[in-house]
Amino acid sequence: MKSRSLMLFLAAAALAGCQTSSHVSSAAAGGNGVSCSNIHQAFTAYKQDRQSAVAWAQLAQLISPAAGSYADMGVNTAARYYDQIKATTDIALAVRGCQPVQ
C-alpha cells in the first residue's frame, strides 16, 4: 500500500509543474526569444504550480507520513531555488529595462 500511495503521489506531483513547463515551452517555440512579458507570465504560472504542489504535499501527508515528508522536502527545496532564480531574473530584467518579478 505504501509504494502504491507513493507512486500515486509522484505521478500527481509530476503533473503539478504543467503550467510553468507548457508556458515556457510555448514562449521559446515562438522563435523570437523570451520577452519580459513571457518571463512575467512564466513566474505567474509557476506561482499557480507552487500552490498545487503545496496541496499535493498536504494530501501526501494524509496518505502516508513518509510520502508527506518527501513532498515537503520537495516543496521547500523548490522554494529555495525559486528565491535564487527570482533574484537572478530580476537583475536580468533590470538590465533589459523591464520591471522586476512580483
In angstroms, rounded to a whole number, what is the distance separating the alpha carbons of residues 43 and 30? 18
Q: 82: buried, middle or exposed (CB in 10 Å: 19+, 13-18, 0-12)?
A: middle
pTM: 0.56
Judge whether residue 12 has pLDDT over 50.
no
Average pLDDT over residues 62-90: 87
Judge whether residue 1 has pLDDT over 60.
no
Contact present, 74 and 13 (Cβ < 8 Å): yes
Average pLDDT over residues 41-63: 84
